[in-house]
Copies of this chain bind each other. A is one copy, B any other.
Amino acid sequence: MLIDGKKISEEIKATLNGESASRRIKLAIVQVGEDEASKKFIERKIKFAEEIGIKTRVYNLPADITTNKLRQKMAEISHILENDGVILQLPLPARNATHSVAGGPEQIKTQYVLNGIIVKKDVDVLSSRAFGDFATGHSKILPPVVEAVKTIFEAYSIDFKNKNIVIVGAGRLVGKPVAVWLINNNATFSVVDKFTKDLTSFTKKADIIISGVGKKNLITPDMIRDGVVIIDVGDAAPEVAEKASLFTPAIGGLGPLTVAMVFKNLIELNK
């Protein structure tokens, strides 16, 4: 059975629409460079915002901006009163190593830049302060992907605390926040990645797989058992749907739900 992230997202949208109606809320979105995929993700956020009456402002910054300049911009944008929430669209543009050698711009220090976002506007829970509040159980919001995963568990009555969970890839946006949330909920889980020796020995025993590597066809049907739940951002081959009891499709799965949770957080932080 496919997990209908789009449908759950629409339900959340309806709720949020009611909650945001009486307020004037604005979300600032920072894009560095011109990456097409990033643009698409930003467009989806703008569309969602429009549908629930939330304003957005996109700040376009040049791809060759320095770490210090970008950090300063994030702080400035954070301190503008009208901006109620601030997002830095990730990933930041990759820079050729030879640039640095040649005196060109060095790779941007992503975490340092994210730390320019003030905690009460950090809807993505990515700054050190916001993440620390979350990791120590002291935050009123959860990282959007965690909120999305939690909502899926609730919608499909999955008692995750008694399951064997496998997280594939512990990156900043998916695996890491989910792992920290599972720690805080006394769940049993394993963290593996594409470099893990005998990855299949983990995935084959999983009741639930949460995969956030971003590598197509990393998870194939031979690696899973019948009836597994797969929450995925696009790592699973489409054929896994035949063995999985529940499965998030690459389109209309975790993505729209995570977008919805960005706005849930924005409204929550502005209550």
Contact = CB atoms under 8 A, between A and B. Distances in A.
A40 interface: no
A179 B175 CA distance: 13
Contacts of A189: 190-191
A111 interface: yes
Interface in A125-180: 127-133, 135-138, 162, 164, 170, 175-176, 179-180
A190 B182 CA distance: 11
A98 interface: no
B188 A196 contact: yes
A183 interface: yes
Interface in A190-204: 190-193, 195-197, 201-202
Contacts of A201: 205
A220 B164 CA distance: 22
Nearest to A112: B138
Contact of A179 (B127, B129, B179, B192): B179
Contacts of A176: 183
Of A130, A133, A190, which is in contact with the most chain B CB atoms at under 10 Å from its CB? A190
A186 interface: yes
Nearest to A199: B188
A170 B183 contact: yes
Nearest to A193: B186
A137 B111 contact: yes
Contacts of A17: none
Given A132-B133, A138-B112, A183 B179 contact: yes
Nearest to A167: B183
Interface string A194-225: 01110001100100000000000000000000
Given A180-B180, A186-B195, A189-B191, A135 B132 contact: yes
Contacts of A245: none
B186 A170 contact: yes
Interface of A: 111-112, 114-115, 127-133, 135-138, 162, 164, 170, 175-176, 179-180, 182-183, 186-193, 195-197, 201-202, 205
